[in-house]
Structure formats: structure tokens, C-alpha cells
Structure 1
């Protein structure tokens, strides 16, 4: 499904204004490029009725890329904590199910939306602004909210890679997901970025051929 054409400048100006008002909340210097958005959205499954959740939707560039890949009958939700961006998304993308909330409450938010799981979760959260406990909490919420075999992707700028908090995040990715990979980098993003991906392990019954559980 193709998203409607809209002036990109409106998204950018709104996003930059939100950054100036609250830089710690958004944790970015510019919106994601269309190229990095397409890469982040590449995990969207093609199974009819799939549920896809975006964390930190910002100006909506990744939301558009997700929509372009959504299968028939799918449900697309965007979680955003910044009130100004929530208003912008609801005004410019009436087709998007926008929810005001914190990624640390993801499981509760999905239940309140009548959902038991997501098939894919796409993120542009500013991981290096979170301490170890926050990173762990959010990644655990993401993993437990995914269906078995569900996929996660998150935008990571190359500028944060030397920092200890990024190294901690990368370690948590490996301890949280069955498999971890990268896509990119995209050098024309500002700043250059790549995508980290994770896959939730199948459920215990699928992993244990005996079918035994503790």
C-alpha cells in the first residue's frame, strides 16, 4: 500500500521544532532519511493481518515506510511520547493508529489496544540516552511483546558506537534475542546510520522436542 504524497518539509520542521524544545526526549539531530526508513521497515512481514508497532515515531518518515509494506488486513500502531509529535502524526497521518506512551509500558499498551502480541516492532528510540536499567526494561518489553519468531529493528547512528552505553545496548541485544544482525550502513542519513535487528526465539514447546516445560 502506498502512502499519500505530502510535503516532507512539514515533517522536518515539526521534528526540528520538537528537538529544540526537548532534545533529551527525542535524542536526534534530524529526522531519519527515507533510505534508513525503508531499511528499518524491511522486517515488516507479508502475512495478512500482521501487527506492526513503531516505537518513537517522531515525524512519521518510518511510519510511511512501514505503511508501504503493510500486508492486507494488517494493523499499524505508532507509539510516541512527545505530545507535539503525537499531534503532528494524528494531523498528517489519519490512517495511523497513534498512541501516546512510553516504550517501557509496551506490553500494557498492547493489551489496552486489544492485542496479545506484535509480529514486528520497529524503533528509532535514542538508546544511548537510557541507562542500563532502562535499556534492559525496554528490550525485555519488546521481546515479550513479539510473537514467537517476530522481528525487531532499531535505527542506530554510527556516531554513538564508541560510547559505553551503546556497547551495553549491543550486549543486551545479544542476550535478549535469539539472533542479532545489522543492515546498512546508510551513509546519506544525517548522521550516517545502520539498523540493528533481532529475532525472538520460538516458544519453549517449539525449542524443546520433548514438549517439556518447567
Structure 2
């Protein structure tokens, strides 16, 4: 198994939120849902870079890709693995702060591997506020979950004015996962 992943899991199992790294099938499903070619992308919780690799294979530009990893050892690992991709060691609860001075820059896509269903409600709301504040009005959030239920509850989706759709069920992943895509209907922006 991937040594950087195992060490991160041992350091903080609740933060990692998985027992194994994302599989290739899940990574490809996430990248496919994102359609990353020519898009400004923020990947949150990239771990060891399985989804990052899939995004790059699907046409994501290294110059327009930014990785936000909370675990400092995984951030260092990602920096070495992807030397031409911007890697930030920071927390998803304060995305705007860690992206400064480029805080006004919007992303077209946010790819999230955060275990949203395991996060305290107050932290989940803070994270979603941060994510949706960095997205362009036509932007999308791609999120996966191991649960049968949506990673963002209908009430929270309504609060942020987004609609979710299940784009893939990945049975060839351990554990099986579901990919969801969230977007604003008709250019709605919760910031207004």
C-alpha cells in the first residue's frame, strides 16, 4: 500500500476519512465528472494524488491546477510528486485565507475528497461556504462519498442554492463510492 497514505492515516485517521487511497476507477470517474480541460481547478484533500493524476490525464492544465492538502507530510509528498503544480498546505475551513493574495481568483471546478459526512455540521457549513465562495457562478463542485446518501444534505444544498446530481457509482473501489456534481442553477450565486 502507499506509504505516505498509511503514515497520514496513522497520524490522523479521522482527517483522512478512508482506509485506502482512492482507486483508479474512482479517480477517473471524478475527473470525467469534472471535464477539466481548460478549467481553473482547486482540488481539496488530494492525499497521494490519485485524482490529481486522473485530472491531468483527462486534460487538466498543470498551471491551472491548485492542490490544497491539510496534512503537511502529504503536502510535501505532493510537491515532490507534482513539482509543476501549485500545492498549498492548508485547511479547507479557511480556503480564502490560504489562497491570498489570489483570493479574488475564482475556480471553475472544485474537486473534493473531504469526508463531508464525517465532519461536524459547523465545520461542514464553514467548508461549503469557503468552497462556494471560490467557485465561479458557472462553476461546479465534484464530491464523492462512500455513503448511499448525498454528501451534501438537501437542506444544505438549498441553503447554498446548488443542485446535486449523482454522476457515477463506482463499484470497483474499496469501498464502493458515488460521485456527485453540484452546480448553481441558472447562474444563482449564494453570495448575493
Shift of residue 191, structure 1, vs aligned partner: 0.5
Aligned to 2:42: 53
Which residue of the other structure, out of 14, 38, 53, is the alignment partner of 1:24? 14
Which residue of the other structure, out of 50, 60, 66, is the alignment partner of 2:55? 66
Shift of residue 31, structure 1, vs aligned partner: 0.5
Alignment RMSD: 2.3
Aligned to 2:23: 33
Matched residues, number: 187
Q: Which runs of 5+ in 2 are unaligned?
A: none
Distance 1:179 1:128 in 2: 17
Distance 1:34 1:72 in 2: 20
Shift of residue 177, structure 1, vs aligned partner: 4.0
Matched position secondary structure for 2:153: helix
Deviation larger for 129-138 or 172-181: 172-181
Q: 1:118 to 1:24 in 2, by over 3 A?
A: same
Distance 1:34 1:76 in 2: 19
Distance 2:113 2:75 in 1: 15
> What's the CA shift string for 1:61-113, capped at 9, x where partnerless?
01111122345685100000001111111112212211011111112333324
The equivalences for 1:159-198 within 5 A come to 161=148, 169-171=152-154, 172-198=156-182
Shift of residue 45, structure 1, vs aligned partner: 3.9
Distance 2:7 2:28 in 1: 24
Q: Which runs of 5+ in 1 are unaligned?
A: 1-8, 205-213
Which residue of the other structure, out of 92, 104, 107, is the alignment partner of 1:103? 92
Matched position secondary structure for 1:191: coil
Q: 1:54 to 1:137 in 2, by over 3 A?
A: same
> What's the CA shift string for 1:107-142, capped at 9, x where partnerless?
233332465210100000011231111111111211
TM-score normalised by length of structure 1: 0.78
Aligned to 2:141: 152
